[in-house]
Structure 1
Amino acid sequence: MKQFSFLFLFLFFLASVAAGEVAATIELRVKNESRGPLSFTLPVNHIVFWGAVREDTLTGGNYNITLRETQTGFVHIRIMDRVIRLFVQPGDHLRVSIDESNIDKPVSIEGNNGGGQEIFTSMELTYPGNLVSRYKKDTTAALLERHVMNDKNVRLKVFKILYDERKIDKAFMDFMQLNLDYYHASVISEIISGKFALTQLSEDHPLFKPVFPADFAVLWDKLYRQYPVNNIAALQTFGYNGGFNLYAGNYINGYIQWIRRNNKAVTAPGWAAGMRESFQTIRSNLSPDVAEYLEAGILFTELSREKNYAELVKFSNDFKKRYPRSRYTFYLEPLLKKANAWYDKVKGDFTAEQKLIPGYAAIDSFKQLMKPFLGKAVFIEFWATWCITCKDQFDHENDLHRFLKSKGVEHLYISVDKQLHETEWKELIKYFDLRGSHIRANEKLVKDLSRIFWQGRGYALPLYVVISRSGYIVEFDAYRPSEKKKLYRQIEKYVQ
């Protein structure tokens, strides 16, 4: 009976581990800070997927993170203004202490590979694209390769010393080797991709280069053979990408395009066509596991932009059909829910209170634009579809609409978007229910608006303006809709 009980408990233990019991823990301790923002990204089945970020708040200066076995690997933590990088293995119990008053050593890490963890966290591994200027004097591929590899070896040497002294284990050393290999390969690829991109510009562009340097083309080819994109182990490192698909993105949208150009292939125009081509290239050149990861990363990035929702819903549905058991779908779903809500809202017609100004495309001056509003007070919002701050202010439009309507004030929205974003401009009007008169300014009108409101120096958004009933600009820089009381008092002065 005792043997049976022992066997039962042992099997129960195994089942609990398999079901996802805690495999590792991270304790965060921040001195002299009781509360602040915190976010962390845990691996998805040991793979670094940047969409798996979680946001929370540090309270009492302490925070504990628990990891299941599938979440062990590279962990990225942002606490206050500090970034912590860790390589966590099953069984690890790491304690991270932060003391900003300790200038010499603000971060200390206790636990498995503690010394290596501290160096990894303190090491300056910025986004590869930010390092382009560091290597701008490397005018040949040989100089670039030598310079970047020297930088890698300097970083790697520190870990080799720790490994020889048995202060870090083999798993940590192997991770850092692979991590730094792909990180520095990403740096080289980013620089070469930039050179290739200049040859893709129109010939009248001031930065256009007619020739892609042959030695850099050879290095590009060598790089992707030495550090293949199609490497599932590399997906477990920070170095494979510094966000989403940097190294792979340059491969799909740069290197493969260069190969195709050599073979006289033609890239399809347009965003949607480009997305379809990218997905097809991924599926044609990479293994299913890597392809699934990259496609999910692209979808997460594009959905996060809050643009092109109609097409992205179709791409996402196709992704779910091809990968019905994908672990990444969980992280796409919140964004897809928002995309579907968007699509449902914008596919209908404009409401009676969402009015496009008749013949708006032919209006070339501010004076011409304001003719229909003579004798009326007008509140103007200058905005654009790409302006995040503008869209944040739309949360206050309902209260503003009620106030303006009660005072007999016209509400005019002026978008400075280019014609390329015509559809998106109209969709945003519907999505945010922007009740009032709308115009997307053409190039001549934008130039005239810049002269009047920004001294001819382009434009800065958002901008809010009040026009009196007599037609004068009485507030060149009014309060924002979120500053309700101040804005309403400001407007009331001109409608008494």
Structure 2
Amino acid sequence: MNRSMNNYLSLLICVFSFLILKGNAQEVNIHIKSEILGDPEVYINPPVDGQHFHFAKIDTSINKAGVLDFKKTVKFPGFYSIGHAGDGKILYLKPGDEVWLTYTMKPDATVEVMLKGSNEVGQNLYDTYKRPFFQSVAEGYLKKYKSIASAQEAVDRKRDKELYQMDSLFKIKAIDRAFKDGITAEINTYYLSVNSYVLQDSIYRLKLIEDSVILAEQTVKYFLDNWKNLVKDYDFNNPLNKSRNSFFDLLQTRASIEKYYFDINTYKQQPIPKITGSYAEIEYNLALLVPDPANEEYAMAQGIELGIIQENYDSFLIGKYETLAAKYPNSAILPYLKPEIDKIKHYQSAIKKDFSDKIKFVDNYGKISNFSEVESFFKDQLVYVDLWATWCGPCKREFAYNDGLKAFADKNGITKLYISVDIDESDNKWKEMIKYYNLEGYHMRASKALSDQLREKFSQDFGGRRGFGIPYYLIIKNGEIVQMNAKRPSNKESLYEQLQSFKTKN
């Protein structure tokens, strides 16, 4: 029997088992027992109809006895992300599965997690399969192996090792068919997304977009033949492939190669497209470039979610959500997206208002090129400085704690200064977000010269490498920095104590 027939039969088995599970709604039970009572928070991100969606995440906690029992009635198998005490687990569970997770603190103060229950041998093995961001992995393989072919062969070897391990467990009945099929689909999808980006990154480095490079016909043929070879045995319509986000990454790479750079049917290089719209809109449109009815609902929902996660509150997402709701009114993802779309509507309303009189801009901020000028502007004050940008999600999440900080600052005569490191093109978005988050205090958007200095002056060590990361906070008193890398607003009382200590010092 040839390879294509084997793959076809395997797909039939996967789809058949998926459909059987779909018709039988049963509970998934996750039992957590933790000794780490000082850190009670737990998050569980269950799948939505077998697919991963960020906004389905549930924030909960263990009780005083260190116990949490989670159950959910589902029709589809899928991946469950679980986080507690700084440890993250990803489990593949089908309807009717039950697992027990026990968290203990080891003598070296690290957390140990023991897993028992459905497919425990396979679950523990899968937990060793790390899934770094596919683009970074692809770039690493290219750097190490130099050529596209060598890099892709190395990726295939890693994939085949994992497939062999899971197949071996299935043969000795250590895992069941549903678990094997689900993990096999994830392995194939993840490593295909890596190998696809090995190809896409090589195309990108030719600077087709920036420099309007025209490739030789044989070069175009090489790229497209390589792509066709990568996906020849991969079924984009297999529902099991959608269990993790690597499938959405793959859809975007597919669109880039088949429609954006080239025409897969004519083997011709495409004219350089004119880039319009926000980054989120480009990402959304890219995912829908390849007509694929079986994946349209998924691609639309994932594209909308990706745009929301970036927290730029793009108005186009409202229309895309309405299109999704009209075309797929029974989509299980709609209830998770609607609250986020409502936030975008609120944002679009808020930015139409004028700045409040408690929002002020530093005089001639665009001409400031040295941080010493910033310090001198506030020479007689105690100032809490927030370095941020409109594209920085963690920066914006800290704004949720501004009410407490505002009350403390007002009571103690502390000035707040927000310095954005956004570029000129983001000026409107910067001012919009100041209004939306009601960031009372002083504001300035750093000039390029000042931004460069900030990156050097406030660089930090990240695992042996120096770099500039935001959000970043500091405290100025009487025109001088008295605390670098200050506490965050989310640190609440720790931050207030830190600020109070400088207020009382001479």
- In which range does the TM-score fall when normalised by the shorter chain? 0.7 to 0.9
Instruction: Return the alpha-carbon distance in structure 1 between the equivalents of residues 86 and 158 of structure 2.
Output: 26
Counterpart of 1:137 (choices 124, 144, 163) is 144
Counterpart of 2:69 (choices 64, 71, 74) is 64
Q: Which residue of 1 aligns with 2:27?
A: 24
Q: How far 1:155 moved relative to its partner? A: 1.7
- 1:312-356 deviation digits (Å, cap 9, x = unpaired): 333333333333322111111232232222222222121223233
Q: How does 1:437-448 map to 2 (within 5 A)?
A: 437-447=442-452
Q: How far 1:440 moved relative to its partner? A: 1.4
| Identity percentage of aligned residues | 21
1:265 is aligned to 2:284: no
Q: Which residue of 1 aligns with 2:42?
A: 38
| TM-score after normalising by structure 2 | 0.75
Q: Is the contact between residue 87 and residue 172 of structure 1 (CA under 8 Å) also seen in structure 2?
A: yes
Q: Is the contact between residue 21 and residue 68 of structure 1 (CA under 8 Å) also seen in structure 2?
A: no
Look up the SS of the partner of 2:315 in the other structure.
helix
Q: Is the contact between residue 381 and residue 464 of structure 1 (CA under 8 Å) also seen in structure 2?
A: yes
Q: Which residue of 2 aligns with 1:435?
A: 440
Look up the SS of the partner of 1:309 in the other structure.
coil
Q: Which residue of 1 aligns with 2:474?
A: 464
Counterpart of 1:181 (choices 177, 185, 188) is 188
Instruction: Return the alpha-carbon distance in structure 2 between the equivalents of residues 150 and 452 of structure 1.
Output: 44
Counterpart of 2:328 (choices 316, 323, 327) is 323
Instruction: Return the alpha-carbon distance in structure 1 between the equivalents of residues 457 and 84 of structure 2.
Output: 44
Look up the SS of the partner of 1:137 in the other structure.
helix
Instruction: Return the alpha-carbon distance in structure 1 between the equivalents of residues 239 and 315 of structure 2.
Output: 31
Q: Which residue of 1 aligns with 2:259?
A: 256
1:303 is aligned to 2:303: no
Q: Which residue of 1 aligns with 2:239?
A: 232
Instruction: Return the alpha-carbon distance in structure 2 between the equivalents of residues 390 and 69 of structure 1.
Output: 36
**Cα 1:199–1:376 shift into 2, 3 Å:** same
Look up the SS of the partner of 1:107 in the other structure.
strand
Q: How far 1:433 moved relative to its partner? A: 1.9
Q: Is the contact between residue 98 and residue 108 of structure 1 (CA under 8 Å) also seen in structure 2?
A: no
Q: How far 1:187 moved relative to its partner? A: 1.9
Q: Letter of the aligned partner of 2:357 in structure 1?
A: A
- Larger displacement relative to structure 2 (43-52 or 395-404): 395-404
Q: Is the contact between residue 248 and residue 287 of structure 2 (CA under 8 Å) also seen in structure 1?
A: no
Counterpart of 1:153 (choices 156, 160, 171) is 160
Q: Which residue of 1 aligns with 2:56?
A: 52
Instruction: Return the alpha-carbon distance in structure 2 between the equivalents of residues 404 and 84 of structure 1.
Output: 40
- 1:139-161 deviation digits (Å, cap 9, x = unpaired): 33432333222222222222323
* RMSD (Å), alpha carbons: 4.2
Instruction: Return the alpha-carbon distance in structure 1 between the equivalents of residues 378 and 100 of structure 2.
Output: 68
1:77 is aligned to 2:107: no
Instruction: Return the alpha-carbon distance in structure 2 between the equivalents of residues 221 and 436 of structure 1.
Output: 56
Q: Which residue of 1 aligns with 2:388?
A: 384
- Larger displacement relative to structure 2 (378-387 or 444-453): 444-453
Look up the SS of the partner of 2:62 in the other structure.
strand
Q: Is the contact between residue 384 and residue 416 of structure 2 (CA under 8 Å) also seen in structure 1?
A: yes
Q: How far 1:293 moved relative to its partner? A: 0.8
1:484 is aligned to 2:496: yes
Q: Letter of the aligned partner of 2:387 in structure 1?
A: W
Q: Is the contact between residue 46 and residue 57 of structure 2 (CA under 8 Å) also seen in structure 1?
A: yes
Q: Which residue of 2 aligns with 1:10?
A: none
Q: Letter of the aligned partner of 2:75 in structure 1?
A: T
Q: How far 1:179 moved relative to its partner? A: 2.6
| TM-score after normalising by structure 1 | 0.76
Instruction: Return the alpha-carbon distance in structure 1 between the equivalents of residues 481 and 287 of structure 2.
Output: 56
Look up the SS of the partner of 1:119 in the other structure.
helix
Q: Is the contact between residue 32 and residue 101 of structure 2 (CA under 8 Å) also seen in structure 1?
A: yes
Q: Which residue of 1 aligns with 2:6?
A: none
Q: Is the contact between residue 379 and residue 477 of structure 2 (CA under 8 Å) also seen in structure 1?
A: no
Instruction: Return the alpha-carbon distance in structure 1 between the equivalents of residues 416 and 35 of structure 2.
Output: 49
Q: Is the contact between residue 141 and residue 219 of structure 1 (CA under 8 Å) also seen in structure 2?
A: no
Look up the SS of the partner of 1:26 in the other structure.
strand
Q: How far 1:106 moved relative to its partner? A: 5.5
Instruction: Return the alpha-carbon distance in structure 2 between the equivalents of residues 124 and 258 of structure 1.
Output: 31
Q: Is the contact between residue 152 and residue 195 of structure 2 (CA under 8 Å) also seen in structure 1?
A: yes
**Cα 1:267–1:323 shift into 2, 3 Å:** farther
Pairs aligned (count): 462
Q: Letter of the aligned partner of 2:160 in structure 1?
A: N
Q: How does 1:113-128 map to 2 (within 5 A)?
A: 113-128=119-134
Larger radius of gyration: 1
Unaligned runs of 5+ in 2: 1-20, 461-465
**Cα 1:444–1:458 shift into 2, 3 Å:** farther
Q: Letter of the aligned partner of 2:334 in structure 1?
A: T
Q: How far 1:409 moved relative to its partner? A: 6.9
